[in-house]
């Protein structure tokens, strides 16, 4: 049985789920968590999302964003912990305790060097984002298209993740141009012939 089918079986057989992601969550992380929460709730599951850091304000428009917590009751235990977009537990900080208390840990990620810390690990290093993996995983296992609002959330998350990457690249390019201008202005070396 492939990993996705094993994960689907775990989801079918359990009731309470904890979803978390890395510190300083981004669009891929937030959108993927919210989409997965809605999917699990449609299946009648009890779902809690908590992260070490709050979601940036840019994601306030995402439906369900207010359901993301930063703290969990200390005695709370879950059947399944779903860890998204994190190659290792150390990137989760304050949510690690709740993860370790879960009966089963599922690790869904796309980063190189993933430590495969879950009982089940769906790691596709060729995926551009964890949202892509969730989308492909859901439709690969269920062959169902009842998830139109979830699909929209995933697409929004992927677009936001791409926008973040483009923003970072444009900042880097701008900084490189600034450095080049400074070099030309202050560090010109005269070459004598």
CATH code, 47: 3.90.1640.10
Domain range for 65 is: 3-164
CA atoms of 66 and 192, how far apart (whole Å): 66
The two structure tokens encoding residue 65? 């964003």
Q: Residue 179 domain-assigned?
A: no
Q: Residue 112 domain-assigned?
A: yes
The two structure tokens encoding residue 60? 């306030």
The two structure tokens encoding residue 56? 């940036």
Sheet holding 16-21, edge to edge: 68-69, 46-50, 16-21, 80-84, 104-109, 120-123
Q: Residue 147 domain-assigned?
A: yes
Q: Residue 34 domain-assigned?
A: yes
Number of domains in the chain: 1
CA–centroid distance for 78 within its chain: 19
Q: Residue 173 domain-assigned?
A: no
DSSP class of residue 43? T
Name which of 5, 105, 176 is nearest 95 in CA terms.
105
Q: Give the dihedral sign, CA 133/106/36/27.
A: negative
pLDDT digits (tens, 9 = 90+) for 117-170: 999 999 999 988 887 788 777 655 554 544 556 556 666 666 666 666 666 656
CA atoms of 97 and 75, how far apart (whole Å): 10
DSSP SS3 for 46? strand
Q: Residue 186 domain-assigned?
A: no
Which of the four pLDDT bands, split at 50, 70 and 90, describes residue 93? very high
pLDDT digits (tens, 9 = 90+) for 31-85: 889 888 988 998 899 999 999 999 888 888 788 889 999 988 788 999 999 999 9
Q: Residue 159 domain-assigned?
A: yes
pLDDT at residue 179 in the model: 59
Residues 35/56/48/74 CA torsion (nearest 10 deg): 160
- Residues 8 and 25 sit within 8 Å (Cβ to Cβ): no
Q: Residue 178 domain-assigned?
A: no
């Amino acid at each position: 049985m492939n990993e996705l089918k094993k994960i689907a079986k775990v989801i079918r057989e359990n009731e309470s789920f904890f979803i978390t992601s890395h510190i300083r969550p981004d669009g891929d992380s937030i959108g993927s968590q919210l989409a997965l929460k809605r999917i699990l709730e449609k299946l009648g599951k009890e779902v809690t999302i908590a992260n070490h850091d709050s979601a940036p304000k840019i994601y306030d428009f995402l439906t369900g964003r207010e359901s993301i917590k930063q703290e969990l009751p200390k005695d709370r235990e879950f059947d399944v912990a779903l860890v998204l977009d994190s190659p290792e537990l150390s990137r989760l900080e304050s949510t690690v305790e709740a993860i370790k208390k879960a009966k089963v840990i599922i690790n869904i990620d796309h980063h190189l060097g993933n430590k495969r810390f879950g009982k089940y690990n769906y790691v596709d290093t060729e995926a551009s984002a964890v949202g892509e993996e969730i989308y492909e995983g859901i439709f690969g296992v269920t062959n169902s298209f009842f998830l139109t609002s979830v699909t929209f959330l995933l697409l929004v998350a992927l677009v936001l993740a791409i926008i973040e990457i483009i923003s970072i690249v444009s900042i880097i390019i701008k900084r490189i141009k600034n450095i080049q201008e400074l070099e030309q202005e202050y560090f010109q070396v005269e070459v004598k012939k």
